[in-house]
């Protein structure tokens, strides 16, 4: 039996075509996808499409839309063998990371993809991204999906979604996964790196988590950040979580005012997470003197999380109403392959 694949079109450049008379880009009706891209009929699967009523640029994505995507997967989970989410590349890593937490016990592929050029453009990267994503979502072994997690395919590489970051606004190779190896590579053959794939417990059924708490903030440290700026952020009403992008392996200023502000935030019940502003590598609190104090006052280690994943995990765990007592332990524990195990 051919696998059934559902394409979920949310918006972004991939679904736009150039009007050759005016030169302007406009979204096209995704239900006519098969007509527009006849190559899709050569694929060894049945393809169905569902589109956001009003496709959006991914800069307008937010947790409400994440839930919308999760609900589409939930509704069609039994009838489809795999899902391909077409999404603008700008915030794709945020959405895909969030979905990896929201879709607990996922055992079917959810492949995010998009493109830098519209599908109608002569030099487009959209066709290869789309066609290979569908092929990857269709792969089966003994009637079981080969990919059983949320992933992101772009420019010949399949990545674990919650390990990705958009690194380039221009190159076709727009994404990178610096802290986790590629799940698959597309060349003459599709090369699947089996040992890096996530393997869920198949006896458990899908649970879709829909409560993401948005009372959070990300602060990128910079030399010269002032007390007044940091204080005003920490005094945001109802703030529940804060991600600090620190220097190198999790280091920050040792100035007294800085540490006192953090201490106060933590004693007020705000969860403070330390991630590095480097593109790759991990936070190691206590490695330098400039991070030991963070460890001592109870800052959570984001280890090797990307900022996108750190944000999604924070919103997710806050939404699950995780108690203050176990929040740090839960946050520092790997949930779905997003962080190093130890
Ligand atoms: N601005 C677009 C978006 O993220 C870019 C893209 O589609 O890649 O929706």
> How confident is the model over 86-129, as pLDDT tens digits?
999 999 999 999 999 999 999 999 999 999 998 878 899 999 99
pTM over 0.75: yes
Question: Looking up tokens 């640029």, which residue turns up?
Answer: 57
For the question of residue 13 being annotated catalytic, the response is yes
Dmax (CA) for the chain in angstroms is 66
* CA–CA separation, 17 and 117 (whole Å): 10
Measured in residues, the chain has a length of 342
Helices (H), the chain: 33-36, 63-76, 92-102, 126-138, 227-234, 256-267, 289-296, 307-319, 324-331
Q: Is 95 touching ligand 1 by the criterion CB < 6 Å?
A: no
* CA–CA separation, 92 and 100 (whole Å): 12
* CA–CA separation, 109 and 285 (whole Å): 35
Per-residue pLDDT tens digits for 167-177: 999 999 999 99
pLDDT at 334: 97
* CA–CA separation, 308 and 280 (whole Å): 13
Pair 48, 80: CB distance under 8 Å: yes
Q: With 90 as the cut, is the pLDDT of residue 209 above it?
A: yes
Boundaries of CATH 3.40.50.40 in the chain?
Answer: 216-331
Q: With 80 as the cut, is the pLDDT of residue 309 above it?
A: yes
pLDDT at 20: 74
Reference 303, options 283, 317, 287, 280; nearest CA is: 283
Look up residue 97 and give its two tokens: 């990371």
pLDDT band (50, 70, 90) for residue 19: confident
Q: Which atom of ligand 1 is nearest to 174's Cα?
A: 8
Beta bridge partners of 86: 9, 113
Q: With 90 as the cut, is the pLDDT of residue 38 above it?
A: no
Summary mean pLDDT of the chain: 94
| Minimal-distance CA residue to ligand 1 atom 6 | 88
* DSSP type of residue 206: P
* CA–CA separation, 146 and 71 (whole Å): 23
For a pocket test of ligand 1, which of 13, 14, 116 has the largest count of ligand atoms closer than 8 A to its C-beta?
A: 13
| Ligand 1 centroid from CA 120, angstroms | 15
Boundaries of CATH 3.40.50.1170 in the chain?
Answer: 4-208
Domain 4-208, CATH? 3.40.50.1170
pLDDT at 252: 93
Look up residue 150 and give its two tokens: 């949320």
Q: With 90 as the cut, is the pLDDT of residue 59 above it?
A: yes
| Ligand 1 centroid from CA 290, angstroms | 38
> Domain 216-331 class?
alpha beta
For a pocket test of ligand 1, which of 15, 58, 155, 166 has the largest count of ligand atoms closer than 8 A to its C-beta?
A: 58
| Minimal-distance CA residue to ligand 1 atom 3 | 88
Query: Residue 175: enclosing H or E segment and its boundaries?
Result: strand 175-176
The catalytically annotated residue of 13, 132, 276, 306 is 13
* CA–CA separation, 132 and 116 (whole Å): 16
Q: Is 57 touching ligand 1 by the criterion CB < 6 Å?
A: yes
Q: What percent of the chain has pLDDT over 90?
A: 85
Pair 185, 191: CB distance under 8 Å: yes
Mean pLDDT of 11-15: 89
Q: With 80 as the cut, is the pLDDT of residue 32 above it?
A: no
* CA–CA separation, 275 and 335 (whole Å): 17
pLDDT at 25: 73
Q: How many CA atoms lie within 13 A of 136 on its CB side?
A: 38
């Amino acid at each position: 039996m051919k696998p059934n694949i559902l394409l979920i079109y949310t918006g972004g450049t991939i679904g736009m075509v150039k009007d050759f008379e005016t030169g302007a880009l406009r979204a096209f009706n995704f239900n006519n996808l098969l007509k527009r891209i006849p190559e899709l009929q050569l694929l060894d699967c049945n393809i169905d499409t569902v589109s956001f009523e009003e496709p959006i640029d991914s800069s307008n994505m937010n947790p409400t839309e994440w839930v919308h995507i999760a609900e589409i997967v939930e509704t069609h989970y039994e009838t489809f063998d795999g899902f391909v989410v077409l999404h603008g590349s700008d915030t794709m890593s945020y959405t895909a990371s969030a979905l990896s937490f929201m879709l607990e016990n996922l055992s079917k592929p959810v492949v995010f993809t998009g493109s830098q050029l519209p599908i109608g453009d002569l030099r487009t990267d959209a066709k290869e991204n789309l066609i290979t994503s569908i092929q990857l979502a269709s792969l089966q072994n003994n009637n079981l999906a080969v990919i059983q997690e949320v992933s992101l395919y772009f420019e010949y590489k399949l990545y674990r979604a919650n390990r990705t970051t958009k690194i380039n606004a221009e190159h076709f190779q727009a994404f990178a996964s610096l802290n986790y190896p590629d799940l698959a590579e597309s060349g003459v053959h599709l090369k699947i790196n089996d040992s890096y794939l996530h393997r869920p417990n198949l006896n458990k059924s899908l649970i879709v988590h829909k409560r993401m708490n948005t009372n959070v903030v990300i602060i990128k440290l910079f030399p010269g950040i002032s007390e007044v700026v940091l204080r005003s952020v920490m005094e945001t009403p109802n703030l529940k979580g804060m991600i600090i992008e620190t220097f190198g392996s999790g280091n920050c200023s040792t100035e007294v005012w800085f540490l006192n502000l953090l201490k106060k935030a933590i004693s007020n019940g705000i969860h403070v997470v330390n991630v590095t502003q480097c593109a790759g590598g991990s936070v190691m609190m206590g490695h330098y003197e400039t991070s030991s104090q963070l460890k001592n006052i109870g800052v959570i280690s984001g280890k090797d999380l990307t900022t996108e994943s750190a944000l999604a995990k924070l919103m997710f765990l806050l939404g699950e109403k995780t108690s203050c007592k176990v929040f740090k332990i839960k946050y520092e524990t790997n949930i779905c392959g997003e962080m190093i195990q130890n």
